[in-house]
């Protein structure tokens, strides 16, 4: 499968969401989509990032923008994470790494001195036509959601 590339339409792919919903990426056409990848459900940085998106959900909704969080966790772990933290958006379960590969977020990382494969915290902004218009890689959680919101506002002003 081709990889997502800036300025190009994102290839369509099936997603397994919390609530045991099956959707396609193309189902989100018509409004901007923020797709953020995090390493592991219920870990400190991932929780903080999700809560930051949650705290700003009304601002994203005013911009008519959907948020989806994604990791390699199984659906049950994603369901527990969403419920425990009260996230008002769906999480994608991607244990087979199809979505991760599409966005090239699996990287070799150092974990306690060992090289391991894992998700590099990344966020992608897809416009209403399904085109990848902005990406953030090697994301630092603090202040990140504000940057994403500004990009969404700029996208909507230009639309």
- Hey, which residues are catalytic here? 46
30: left (phi over 0), alpha (psi -120 to 50) or beta: left
Is 16 in contact with 92 (CB distance < 8 Å)? yes
Q: Which residues pair with 35 in a beta bridge?
A: 68, 124
| Residue 5 to residue 7: CA distance in whole angstroms | 6
Per-state percent for the chain, helix, strand, coil, to nearest 5: 35, 30, 35
| Residue 20 to residue 76: CA distance in whole angstroms | 9
| Residue 128 to residue 64: CA distance in whole angstroms | 10
């Amino acid at each position: 499968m081709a990889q997502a590339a800036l300025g190009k339409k994102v290839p369509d792919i099936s997603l397994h969401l919390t609530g045991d919903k099956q959707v396609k990426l193309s189902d989100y056409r018509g409004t901007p989509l923020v797709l953020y990848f995090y390493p592991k459900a219920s870990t400190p940085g991932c929780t903080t990032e999700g809560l930051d998106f949650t705290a700003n959900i009304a601002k994203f909704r005013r911009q008519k923008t959907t948020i989806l969080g994604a990791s390699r966790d199984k659906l049950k772990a994603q369901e527990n994470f969403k419920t425990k933290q009260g996230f008002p958006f769906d999480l994608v379960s991607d244990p087979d790494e199809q979505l991760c590969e599409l966005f090239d977020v699996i990287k070799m990382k150092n974990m306690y001195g060992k090289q391991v494969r894992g998700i590099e915290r990344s966020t992608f902004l897809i416009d209403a036509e399904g085109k990848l218009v902005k990406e953030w890689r090697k994301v630092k959680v603090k202040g990140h959601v504000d940057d994403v919101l500004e990009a969404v506002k700029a996208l909507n002003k230009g639309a």
